[in-house]
């Protein structure tokens, strides 16, 4: 599983920039998505997919330890839907090198 450091390293290598610049770009990218979602807007990134906020209603649940009924409060969640380019890249088999 790739972590933030792995992503920053990959960005730096592929874009030919320093890791510090790549980290700033990555943080700006994530910040833009977060700000859009906070405003309740859909954030679409061509070639990747889209992020949207969905609302979950309050519901009843159970505490797994005590089996006591609890009320789970309403909340907002961020959903990601992969775009066509990303889906195609994942579903295209890699060619074997000889």
Each residue of 39-97: pLDDT tens digit?
Answer: 999 999 999 999 999 999 999 999 999 999 999 999 999 999 999 999 999 998 876 66
Contact 82, 51 (CB under 8 A): no
Strand pairing of 49-56 and 43-45?
A: antiparallel
Tell whether the model's pLDDT for residue 98 goes beyond 70: no
Element (H or E) spanning 71, and its range?
strand 69-72
Contacts of 98 (CB under 8 A, 6+ apart): none
What one-character DSSP code corresponds to residue 40? T
Write down all domains in the chain, each with its CATH number in brackets: 1-41 (no CATH), 42-98 (4.10.520.10)
Tell whether the model's pLDDT for residue 23 goes beyond 70: yes
Contact 31, 24 (CB under 8 A): no
């Amino acid at each position: 599983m790739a972590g933030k450091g792995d992503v920053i390293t990959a960005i730096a290598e592929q874009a030919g920039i320093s890791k510090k610049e790549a980290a700033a770009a990555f943080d700006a990218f994530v910040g833009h998505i977060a700000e859009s979602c906070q405003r309740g807007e859909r954030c679409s990134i061509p070639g990747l997919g889209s992020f949207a906020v969905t609302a979950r209603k309050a519901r009843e649940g159970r505490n797994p330890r005590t089996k006591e009924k609890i009320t789970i409060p309403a909340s907002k969640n961020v959903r990601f839907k992969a775009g066509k380019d990303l889906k195609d890249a994942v579903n295209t088999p890699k060619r074997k090198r000889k």
